[in-house]
Amino acid sequence: MTPDDIRHVILDALKRVAPEVDPASIQSGVSFRDQLDLDSMDFLNFVLALHERLGIDIPEVDYPRLYSLESAVEYLTSPLQRPDSWA
Amino acid sequence: MPSLGADMEAGTLVEWLKHPGDTVKRGDIIAVVDTQKGAIEIEVFEDGTIESVRIRPGEKVPVGTVLAMIRGAGAERPLVAADTAPVPASVPEVPSPPAAAPLPQTAPREESRRLRTSPMARKLAGELGIDVTRIEGTGSQGAITREDVERTAATLKPSVLPQPKPSAARLGDMRGAIAAAMARSKREIPHYYLSTIIDMSTALAWLRAENEKRAVTERVLPVALLIKAVGLGLREVPELNGHWIDGAFRPGAGIHIGCAVSLRGGGLVAPALHDVDTMDLATLMRRLADLVARARSGSLKSSELSDPTITVTNLGDQGVDAAFGIIYPPQVALVGFGKISERPWVGSAAIEARPLLTATLSADHRATDGHRGGVFLTAVDRLLQTPERL
């Protein structure tokens, strides 16, 4: 998966918790919580959606790295997070 | 039409999921009703067989209206109405016998009507998919004419299949319902307010270690701990769990915690998480996630809206320190949680930074006194210090 694919996966996952949000309006460097009024349940559902789509178990300690689009793309494309099957 | 909360006055039947002759069991979903809180699945509270349905899809009727008649499974209760959810309002448990509400259309009348429908009208009605018994005849002796069918087709169709309301209209309705319930609460309920600061370091450390062991699908949020602690605390102070009806406190049948859920785009519902005190944390978390998702998508069950015995509101995610809520009548208490944040705390020998949480209680002074409220908040604090036992 390319960073662009990952970006799409993230935006899809966000769409599931905040269906009314226009993906084009999301600012890359600003936290999702601040932009989209997500609560902790929404955020958990966002992580669950990523889990379903990507098949990875994101540990709780890494949650802060998913707080914005920019950092989430970076985190999810890092080699550590990338199973061989993605290549 | 069951009361799905103190703020509901009427509902529109969307569809019947069970029909005359069908056997139903307690808890079965028999119909869908549209309210300002979304489409609600109506559960039946008796075992038996559907005898007749009295309300048609598209009809809007006030709370308390008999929707259907059910022949009870046992001989001792021959007929019960299908709207007998055990609501805490003043709706009688078993509504008046079948004779009470005259049926707009009885079987014999349908039969005679049919005889007075012209073949042309009947054919047209068939083509348009309209039940001729729903048509008001204007011909001689009330005969149904072709014009009657056409007129009915124009007026009836939209109400037969109610369209989902535009969200702005729904939001307006919901605002009105919240306004009515909250104004009633402030008018009738003499609130008292208490607050306490809870050290969450033990609970959060335990939860962090637990979640490390759990797959992402099994992880538990701190709010689940809080709700469970409230559930167990209510066992110790049961007079906060129930309803104030007709000048007296009626204890809840179980500990059914209404969880305030804000809806995306505005509005609020507080559906019940049932029997919180008996659930383990993983189950509680799963049910809570499901409840929140269904509240937001507008597909709650009637019992979830009609039987909360207390409400919990958690505004911590919005960054507030403390939430002093307004009791949802006829409940007698509401528990509020603010955010968990690092603050100075006097530990054994020094001032330390600890994750602290302010828990509040709004309670009805007619049902309890501040002393019992304080006992409850203290119990919640104590329960949260042994999270492994929650």
Question: Is the pLDDT higher at B145 or at B47?
Answer: B47
Tell me the three state secondary structure of residue B8: coil
Q: Are B50 and B73 spatial neighbours (Cβ–Cβ below 8 Å)?
A: no
Percent of all residues in chain B with a pLDDT value above 90, rounded to a whole number: 53
User: Mean pLDDT score of chain B, rounded to an integer?
Assistant: 84
Least confident piece of the model among A54-63, B144-153, B189-198: B144-153
Q: Which amino acid is at A42?
A: D
C-alpha distance from residue B204 to each of B167, B209, B222, B358, B375 (Å)? 38, 9, 7, 15, 23
Residues of chain A with pLDDT under 70: 79-87
pLDDT at B133: 67
pLDDT at B267: 87
Instruction: Taking residues B243-261, report their average pLDDT.
Output: 97
Domain span including residue A42: 3-86
The C-alpha atoms of residue B174 and residue B322 are separated, in whole angstroms, by: 25
CB contact under 8 A, B289 and A44: yes
Architecture of domain B10-100 in CATH?
Answer: Beta Barrel (2.40)
- Does B112 have pLDDT greater than 60? no
Provide the pairing of β-strand B257-259 with B310-314. Answer: parallel
C-alpha distance from residue B211 to each of B62, B168, B202, B356 (Å)? 47, 39, 14, 20
- Does B6 have pLDDT greater than 50? yes
CB contact under 8 A, A59 and B317: no
- Does B144 have pLDDT greater than 80? no
Q: Nearest-CA distance from A84 to chain B in Å?
A: 21
Question: Is the pLDDT higher at B8 or at B20?
Answer: B20
pLDDT at B319: 87
* Residue B103 Cα to chain centre, angstroms: 28
Which residues of chain A lie closer than 8 angstroms to B317, CB-CB? 38-40
* Residue A11 Cα to chain centre, angstroms: 7
Classify burial at A19, counting beta carbons within 10 Å of its beta carbon; exposed 0-12, middle 13-18, buried 19 or more: exposed
pTM here? 0.75
Provide the pairing of β-strand B333-337 with B310-314. Answer: parallel
Which two tokens mark B158?
Answer: 């939209």
Residue B82: pLDDT band with limits 50, 70, 90: low
Considering only the top CATH level, what class is B167-389?
alpha beta
Residue B166: pLDDT band with limits 50, 70, 90: low
Percent of all residues in chain B with a pLDDT value above 70, rounded to a whole number: 79
Least confident piece of the model among A22-26, B118-122, B134-138, B358-362: B118-122
Instruction: Taking residues B287-310, report their average pLDDT.
Output: 92
Measured between CB atoms, does A45 come within 8 Å of chain B? yes
CB contact under 8 A, A58 and B292: no
Q: What CATH number should be reported for the domain holding residue A56?
A: 1.10.1200.10
- Does B168 have pLDDT greater than 60? yes
Domain ranges, ordered by start, for chain B: 10-100, 107-160, 167-389
Residue B150: pLDDT band with limits 50, 70, 90: confident
Instruction: Taking residues B122-126, report their average pLDDT.
Output: 66
The C-alpha atoms of residue A48 and residue B99 are separated, in whole angstroms, by: 53
Q: Are B103 and B65 spatial neighbours (Cβ–Cβ below 8 Å)?
A: no
Which two tokens mark A39?
Answer: 């609560």
The DSSP letter of residue B93 is S
Consecutive H or E run containing B287: helix B281-297
Minimal-distance CA residue of chain B relative to A41: B289
Which two tokens mark B95?
Answer: 């509504």
Least confident piece of the model among B150-154, B196-200, B273-277: B150-154
Of A39, A40, A57, the CB nearest to B215: A57
Residue B271: pLDDT band with limits 50, 70, 90: very high
pLDDT at B390: 95
Left (φ > 0), alpha (ψ -120 to 50) or beta: where does A7 sit?
A: alpha
CB contact under 8 A, A18 and B293: no
- Does B94 have pLDDT greater than 60? no
pLDDT at B83: 54
pLDDT at B89: 43
Neighbours of B382 (CB within 10 A): 14
End-to-end CA, chain A: 6
HSE-up of residue B75 (Cα within 13 Å, Cβ side): 0
pLDDT at B122: 67
**Tokens 């958990």 identify what position?**
A44
Which two tokens mark B9?
Answer: 């006055």
Core vs surface per residue A44-63: b (16+ CB within 10 A) or e: bbbbbbbbeebeeebebeee
Which residues of chain A lie closer than 8 angstroms to B211, CB-CB? 60
Residue B135: pLDDT band with limits 50, 70, 90: confident
Consecutive H or E run containing B67: none
Residue B71: pLDDT band with limits 50, 70, 90: confident
Which residues of chain B lie closer than 8 angstroms to A51, CB-CB? 216-217
Measured between CB atoms, does A19 come within 8 Å of chain B? yes
pLDDT tens for residues B25-55?
988 899 998 887 778 889 888 888 998 889 9
CB contact under 8 A, A37 and B219: no
Instruction: Taking residues B6-19, report their average pLDDT.
Output: 87
pLDDT at B116: 64
- Does B69 have pLDDT greater than 60? yes
CB contact under 8 A, B222 and A57: no
**Tokens 């009791």 identify what position?**
B327
Kindly provide the ipTM of the predicted complex, given to two decimals.
Answer: 0.81
Chain A interface test: which of B170, B317, B320, B341 (most A C-beta within 10 Å): B317
How many contacts (CB atoms, under 8 Å) link A and B?
A: 38
pLDDT at B344: 96
Minimal-distance CA residue of chain A relative to B315: A39
**How many structural domains compose chain A?**
1
Chain B interface test: which of A43, A50, A54, A60 (most B C-beta within 10 Å): A60
- Does B137 have pLDDT greater than 50? yes
Considering only the top CATH level, what class is B107-160?
few secondary structures
